[in-house]
Chain A
Amino acid sequence: MEKKWEELSPDEKQEAQFQKLLAPKDPEGNDLQFQSPEAEVAYKASINRFKEAVQLKESDRIPVSVFPGWFPILYSGMTPQEAMYDYEKCAAAFKKFVLDFEPDLQWGAVMPGPGKFFEILDYKLYAWPGHGVNPDSGYQCLEDEYMQPHEYDLLITDPSFFFRNFYLPRIFGALEGFTMLPPLTGILEMYGVAFNFIPFGLPPVQNTFKALFEAGAEALKWVTVMGGVNGELASLGFPNILGGFTKAPFDTIGDTLRGTKGIIMDMYRQPDKLLQALQSMTPIMIGMGLGAAQQTGNPVIFMPLHKGADGFMSDEQFKTFYWPTLKAVIEGLIGEGCIPFIAAEGGYNSRLEVIRDLPKGKTVWMFDQTDMVKAKEIVGDTLCLWGNIPSTMLKIGTPEDVKDYAKKLIDTVGKGGGFIMGNGAFFDHAEPENVQAMVDFTKEHGVYK
């Protein structure tokens, strides 16, 4: 008899999630029709290579991924601005990128995002091409203290209320009306219930909702195009392995709420409040990943790590502020069979002994400037390693440089499985022949005998 989901072990849940990935659906929920038997074989082979790598086993060969930033857009000869405003062109650029380079694993065309959507909401958290940076640049974050130092109790007590009434109106001009809304938890019994709905009759709130409807329609338009190219690439044998996104609680608070400087001040001036807030964000970050996996039917949850890198904070600070809640998020995802795909930006050399403390064969770590050979030694029996052709090499090196570097990775880190070849950081500018060399060389020389 089949077990209920909650009766499954984490291993069984992971297996069930992989089976879902191996049986992709079209947008209507039917089995995806592959365009040829070869495409189906290629698709499943890539997923299986990924699965074996996650589980630290050897498959037929080392899988190779290309996870770029704006590279596909620039490679197609268009600007980031065009990609953000012309969804069809963006999708076409992405398709060309995948079909030209043929990586085993790719991560979809959603990175540029819908420009008009951001305009409708008057987004203030980022500068994007034509809005604060020139059309040739990608979007870049405008750090500030969008959460004030004295607002920790608000965040800790009711994160959703804090986000809706304080944080969101600060980062989206069009959401000003949210500041007038009462907490939903005041809606209890017949007496008094109507008071809670009065704000919805007021013009500022109604204007905010009008903007939301418009923004929602735009997001839907955009995702239909991006989902379309995703499905098409899958039917051609190229799986998108990204199912969702979540963050380390420290980065959630430090990146866009308190800002880098703000959170640093809090580490000294109000460490207990910060630790409490990190705790309260932890289940929310787990839920964010699990919810996305459920929605997309894809268990691979991307987690870009920002402020935990070598040199950014001390090992002691890492163990106190960064790691405990990050570990809890990772374990929460693993518990439901998801595969946390963690991009450790910067170097993680001094953190290897700490991050080793995770279940074996359940997570993937994309390393940027970490010494991969050392990583293999210290965490290679626990974590699947991903990376790390340097961005500088892809841009200013030669195909020979890339091949030499890839060969070293294959010979050392690839040994025994648990390795995925790829770029180390999310690059925008690169020489196409260098990217091609990374993919082709791995397919040729990354074969397990």
Chain B
Amino acid sequence: MAGELAKLLSDLKEPEALEFVEKALAEGADPMDLLGQAKEGMNIVGQRFADDYYFIPDLVFSGEILKGIVKLLEPHLKKAEATERLGTVVMGTVAGDIHDIGKDLVAFMLDVHGFEVLDLGIDVPAEKFVETIKESGSTVVGLSGFLTLAFDSMKETVDAIKEAGLRDQVKIMIGGGQMNEDVKSYAGADAYGKDAVEAVKLAQGWIGG
């Protein structure tokens, strides 16, 4: 049975994957084992995305299948079991910009890979990032933006983190539509990630996991 669910999920077989989970639970399978398999499936999806075999629709749809699986498993999981986290990432779309699709995808993939994500949402003022870093002691920050105005908002956010004396504590990554290495340098961030899988790799490099 090992790996069957991972295979169904990574092959994006939604009805089959959900049916498999229902049946396995009814037969008394360990829900933690099933959750582990689902995670393995998501790792395969992530790998296929990195290999340009899967694209955004596949990634988003795999997320929906995973949500369906977790919903079936949740009543069977003890609370403590699901909350082991590698580290905390503060995420948000910068001030003035309300685009959230890319940011949500990155937050989701970080979550799947075991990070605690503090998603501050959209149009997030620099102070809000600073406050959250202070409160959470987080060491990784993800700034998202789609518009050209986000170049300055990102720079202002990085500057505010610097002024608060927190710059050495955190690594900052940026991403979104018109972002690139030049914007990274302009904003004073540490890295640019072109997609959700790169964001996960960056966070893993900085935090581990």
Contact = CB atoms under 8 A, between A and B. Distances in A.
Interface of A: 69, 127, 132-134, 136-138, 140, 142-143, 260-261, 264-265, 267-269, 311-314, 317, 346, 390-393, 395-397, 425, 427-430
A133 B55 contact: no
Nearest to A137: B96
Given A265-B61, A311-B56, A429 B151 contact: yes
B12 interface: yes
B77 to A, nearest CB: 26
A138 B151 contact: no
Given A133-B96, A269-B14, A397-B182, A264 B152 contact: no
Interface in B10-31: 12, 14
Contacts of A397: 182
Contacts, number: 87
B178 A264 contact: no
A242 B56 CA distance: 32
A429 B148 contact: yes
A268 B14 contact: yes
A319 to B, nearest CB: 13
Nearest to A71: B148
A395 B151 CA distance: 8
Given A140-B99, A392-B183, A264 B56 contact: yes
Given A392-B183, A397-B182, A311 B151 contact: no
Nearest to B57: A264
A427 B180 CA distance: 15
A142 B98 CA distance: 8
A177 to B, nearest CB: 30
Contacts of A391: 148, 178
A84 B177 CA distance: 25
B105 to A, nearest CB: 10
Nearest to A143: B101
A346 B12 contact: no
Contact of A267 (B57, B97, B123): B57
A248 B15 CA distance: 31
Interface in B33-55: 53-55
Interface of B: 12, 14, 53-58, 60-61, 64, 96-99, 101, 123, 147-149, 151-152, 177-180, 182-183, 186, 195
Contact of B12 (A132, A134, A268, A314): A268
4 pairs of A and B residues whose beta carbons are closest in the complex: A429-B148, A396-B186, A264-B57, A137-B96
Given A136-B96, A138-B149, A140-B97, 8 more contacts: A142-B98, A143-B101, A261-B101, A312-B55, A392-B178, A392-B183, A427-B148, A429-B148
A260 B149 contact: no
Contacts of A428: 147-149
B101 A260 contact: yes
Contacts of B57: 264, 267-268, 312-314, 317
Interface centre among B60, B98, B195 (most CB of A within 10 A): B98
Nearest to A133: B98
Contacts of A312: 55-57
Interface centre among A137, A312, A397 (most CB of B within 10 A): A137
Nearest to A80: B149
6 contacts: A133-B123, A138-B149, A143-B101, A260-B60, A392-B186, A425-B178
A134 B98 contact: no
A396 B14 CA distance: 45
A429 B101 contact: no
Nearest to B58: A314
Given A264-B56, A269-B14, A311-B55, A429 B97 contact: no
A146 B99 CA distance: 17
A300 to B, nearest CB: 25
A260 B99 CA distance: 12
A227 B26 CA distance: 69
Contact of B64 (A137, A265, A313, A396): A265
B183 A429 contact: no
Nearest to B183: A392
Contacts of B182: 392-393, 396-397
B8 to A, nearest CB: 14
A429 B97 CA distance: 13
A140 B177 CA distance: 14
A185 to B, nearest CB: 36
A311 B105 CA distance: 14
Nearest to B147: A428
Contacts of B14: 268-269
